[in-house]
Structure 1
Amino acid sequence: MENGQVLDTQGIFIGRLFTLGGSALFLIGSFIAAYYAYKDYVEAVEKSNK
């Protein structure tokens, strides 16, 4: 392998790691947002039943 190919491959690898990390953070954030939305929904339903 030439030195240029190694650098290109390293760049692609690092870019994919950042993409994977960003996707994981987005997924975790989505679950957290859904949890709090459901929690607020349950509280609203309980208040309306009183």
Structure 2
Amino acid sequence: MTETSTGIEVGQEMPAFELPDEEGSPFGLFEQLRDGPIVLVFYRGDW
């Protein structure tokens, strides 16, 4: 059985996550949203 990921659809609620930023500090989605709306851009690459 293979698990597949379809990503987030337009209008779908984003799940909570935390990732390291460019300096290695934690970046939490909901923590950032406390200051107002944000724009997230994900680059998928193989480098």
TM-score range, shorter chain: under 0.3
Decide which structure has greater helix share: 1
Query: Which has the higher relative contact order, 1 or 2, with Cα contacts under 8 A spaced 6 or more apart?
Result: 2
Decide which structure has greater strand share: 2
TM-score, normalized by length of structure 2?
A: 0.20
